[in-house]
Structure 1
Amino acid sequence: MTATTTKVQIKQSPQLDTKIKLRDIINTLPKEVFVKNSKKAWSKLIINVLLVGLGYWALAVSPWFVLPFLWIFVGTGLTGFFVIGHDCGHRSFSNRNWVNDLVGHLLFLPLIYPYHAWRILHNHHHKHTNKLKVDNAWDPFTSEDYAQFSPLVQWFYRRLRGWFWWVGSIAHWASLHFNWWQFEGKQRQQVRFSVLVVLLGGGIFLPTLLITTGFWGLVKFWLLPWLVYHFWMSTFTIVHHTMPEIPFQSESEWHEASAQLCGTVHCKYPWWVEFLCHDINVHIPHHLSSGIPWYNLRQAHQSLKENWRDYLYESEFSWSLMKKVAEQCHLYDEQNNYRTFKTYHHSN
């Protein structure tokens, strides 16, 4: 299935045989895609840091009419920070866990994102991808869920599942990643440490920025790049698993191999976005095995196209694609995958 900038084609993927296991699909991938390459990992990290640093320097010296382009550039570069930290969370950046955790914390710090909280919750998403009411990343409400909420919550939910999808990751970040008491044992200690790191870092950096550059400096150097970062986080996350043709399944019917192969979207973005965000959009092989480093995702995806082409959902980032998601993927309906808010309110 493909989508162009002018028209999104809709075609339901063939059903994967339930006898096929996730391991059967993984075994068709070349062995070399699982191999970590320290040179590639560290060189791309250094390039990412230098580009973001260049962007901040340009923000400091450029005239006002250049600033919107620089906010987009810096915010997208900060999304690259997150993607490398994302690999750290999956232990696919380094063979040493302490290196993964150190780099992950440092890269997440400018985003005010508690690393261990995200790592633990995100691994839950990988384990339960598209499992209705269990997956914790953009799991859609059913009509029954929606009916139980107050009018105010319903209003916010309609915004987040509609044209304000791009702030969804802010709500996800704020509501799930700072309450360490929801975790147990060692995980609670790890999450509390990560929360304290970002609170301390943010507590020092943001007031210092405000004092030295004023309110406009806080907006210019932090808030607007941070909002661009969340635009990409929200967009990547919702597009990766939310299409009218892609079902969520109840726990009793959920099939792991189908969810990871057929329930994940490969979306093509402009080349500069894919470069700065380290090919996170090449997402299907990442869900088959989170141990594949980002620099091997394209090779793994090519292998999937050779062996499993009929089961892949591929699209292209465009206005028509986001219009499709924002206008159709509202409340989950197991028979039709989704129903819109409009049809729900008309029937009630």
Structure 2
Amino acid sequence: MTTSIVKSSKLGGDDASRYSTTLNDSGLKLKHIIKSLPKECFERNSTKAWTILAVNILMVALGYLSLVFSPWYLLPLAWIFTGTALTGFFVVGHDCGHRSFSKRQWVNDLVGHAVFAPLIYPFHAWRVGHNYHHKHTNKLDYDNAWHPIRPEMFENSSKTWQVVLKTFLTNKIWWVGSVGHWALIHFDPNNFLEKDRPKIKQSITVVAIFAAIVFPTLIITTGIWGFVKFWLLPWLVYHFWMSTFTYVHHTAPDVPFKKANKWDEAIAQLSGTIHCNYPGWVEFLCHDINVHVPHHISTAIPSYNLRLAYSSIKENWSQYLHDESNFSWSLMKQLTDECQLYKEDSGYLTFKEYEASKQ
């Protein structure tokens, strides 16, 4: 097998010719990788699934208790803990959306709606859109989870949007990205195929009912500050992790996005998905969602089997894998400093490089 990924720290300009993957001349298909995984990776264990959910509920409850009893100077820690535990709710719903939580579809839908409701996330809207991401990972003009901004898109945007995009991409505010994604896409049934719209509307109704009951009750009993303290700030921490996980999973200076006619499914899922190690408490509360390569090989793998699957993938397909990374401020600084715009067949460039090229 001859596929390899160029791993230079910075690519562009004279280095453009190096920005590519070697052709997949081995005939590698996604099904070959899936068949190499131990069968245990795909086994749904109801005891493990419900135990994870029960532990997650306990962690969220502990988080809210800490918000009730913490002195003001410990509230930031309580918000971080509670928001991270709420991210665990999302990961449980993530399994439900991929039908890997339970063998029964109605259980997946019920639990998915229940854990997504506190996040004000329409379950079916996310499920349908996210499955599309898996079919088109790192494919230019198709991937809808994270898609780099191309110079031509930036140029064709209004002045207002240019300011917004440049501010977002250059000022270390990647962590609000999923808020925009959540707000602009998931509450409009017209963003989805007609056959999916009834379920989309059902999920929107669920979160609307939740918000109509919980938000006024929270404000009446605890005031505006209570709403901010008990819901808004933990919710923003949750979106910090959502944005960060999504961004880091598929972004590096040397990870290519390909047009459809040059895109290779097996290579995109193996090499275009990056394993990043986070602090142990984050990985525990978020149920190993960072172990993301096997999830892109097969969405049928439950979260509690991701590490087993990843061990097998590293053993059998290590030559295709991108280098692992460790979550840190320096990592996020590198990504946001270098991965600002994306030029087809050349790779990422900064706004300074883009502006210099126009002179």
**Are the structure 2 counterparts of residues 16 and 257 from structure 1 closer, same or farther at C-alpha, using a change threshold of 3 Å?**
farther
**Which residues of 2 match residues 236-251 of structure 1 at below 5 A?**
236-251=245-260
Q: Any conservation in 2 of the 1:16–1:258 contact (CA below 8 Å)?
A: no
TM-score, normalised to structure 2, is 0.92
Deviations 1:31-50, CA, capped at 9 Å, x for gaps: 11000111110001000001
1:72 aligned residue (75, 80, 89): 80
Instruction: Say yes or no: does 1:270 pair with 2:279.
Output: yes
Contact (CA 8 Å) 2:20, 2:345: kept in 1 or not? no
User: 1:188 and 2:197 equivalent?
Assistant: yes
Cα separation, 2, equivalents of 1:242 and 1:137: 12
Once the two structures are superposed, what CA deviation does each residue of 1:191-216 show, in whole Å capped at 9, x if it has no partner?
00101111121122111101110111
State TM-score, norm by structure 1.
Answer: 0.95
Q: Distance in 1 between matches of 2:346 and 2:357?
A: 16
Query: Could you say which residue in structure 2 is the equivalent of 1:49?
Result: 57
Number of residue pairs aligned between Structure 1 and Structure 2: 341
How far apart, in 1, do the equivalents of 2:80 and 2:54 lie?
A: 20
Helix, strand or coil at the partner of 2:318: helix
Which residue of structure 2 aligns with residue 317 of structure 1? 327
Q: CA deviation at 1:289?
A: 0.1
Out of 193, 213, 220, the position equivalent to 1:211 is: 220
Partners in 1 of 2:253 and 2:41 — Cα distance?
Answer: 31
Pick the aligned partner of 1:224 from 226, 233, 242.
Answer: 233
Residues 260-299 of structure 1 mapped to structure 2, 5 A cutoff: 260-299=269-308
User: Do the aligned residues in 1 keep the contact of 2:185 with 2:191 (CA within 8 Å)?
Assistant: no
* Map of 1:177 onto structure 2: 186
Compared CA separation, residues 281 and 9, structure 1 to 2 (3 A): farther
State which drifts further: 267-276 or 207-216.
Answer: 207-216
Partner Cα separation in structure 2 for residue 159 and residue 294 of structure 1: 35
Q: How far apart are the structure 1 equivalents of 2:250 and 2:239? A: 17
Note if contact 1:13-1:262 (Cα within 8 Å) is conserved in structure 2: no
Distance in 1 between the 2:81 and 2:8 partners?
30
CA contact (8 A) 2:338 2:349 kept: yes
Q: Sequence identity, in percent?
A: 59
Q: Which residue of 1 aligns with 2:355?
A: 345
Of 19, 38, 44, 1:30 maps to 38
Give the C-alpha shift of residue 237 in structure 1. 0.3
Gaps of at least 5 residues in structure 2 are: 1-6, 11-18
Who is 1:102 aligned against?
Answer: 110
The answer to whether residue 135 in structure 2 is matched with residue 127 in structure 1 is yes
The answer as to whether partners of 1:14 and 1:311 remain within 8 angstroms in 2 is no
Mapped contact 1:159–1:165 kept (Cα < 8 A): no
1:66 positional shift = 1.1
The CA RMSD measured in Å over matched residues stands at 1.6
